[in-house]
Amino acid sequence: KFAGIAFWLVLMARAIFPALLAPNGQDKNLLALLTSSVVCIGLFYGTGLFYGERTHISVMEYWRWWVVHLWVEGFFEVFATTALAFIFSTLGLVSYRMATAASLASASLFMLGGVPGTFHHLYFSGTTTPVMAVGASFSALEVVPLVVLGHEAWEHWSLQHKATWMKNLKWPLMCFVAVAFWNMLGAGVFG
């Protein structure tokens, strides 16, 4: 059961830990955030493996619901923002400081609003309107750091005629900017 999660963690550790341990004098806050989000994804999905074939369906569904919704409401946003911030800052599309600030904002929003962000899913259990409004507000706020990061990258990309390497990476960069846009539209607007 745990082989897939262990493989994910080992694969990511082989790529990330040498960069964390390199003595290049650069601020490693963004890399540390990326590392922690990758590790948390593996550990988070690991909690879904603690039930077995004899576990009651209500217990399995309870944990499945939390795994799916906390992934959507928080872990994905932190990982996506941090991964794209790392890529954008490495390519020079956003400043390292902006990338770190967006990643910290995403992680802070998740820590403050991860569980309350799931409250808008509780409509069918008779949750009151104010509680659902709190959940919808936190859920809509979670996409803001990624949207700000995508907007900053789009502004820098629009200056592509000044750098020839940007023309060579047109489609990957457009894909990353599109991730930010569609995340804002899907999760932020249609939520």
What pLDDT, on the 0 to 100 scale, is given for residue 184? Answer: 74
Q: How high is the pLDDT of residue 2?
A: 65
Exposed, middle or buried by CB within 10 Å (0-12, 13-18, 19+), for 54?
exposed
Name which of 134-138, 143-147, 183-187 the model is least confident about: 183-187
d(CA 61, CA 46): 15
* pLDDT at residue 45, rounded to an integer: 74
Range of 95's domain?
A: 1-19+26-116+123-190
119 in Cβ contact with 132 (< 8 Å): yes
Give the model confidence (pLDDT) of 3-25 as tens digits.
776 787 788 778 777 877 877 76
For position 147, which CATH number holds? 1.20.210.10
Q: What is the pTM of this model?
A: 0.72
Q: How many domains are contained in the chain?
A: 1
On the question of pLDDT at 1 being above 70, the answer is: no
Contact, 107 vs 30, CB < 8 A? Answer: no
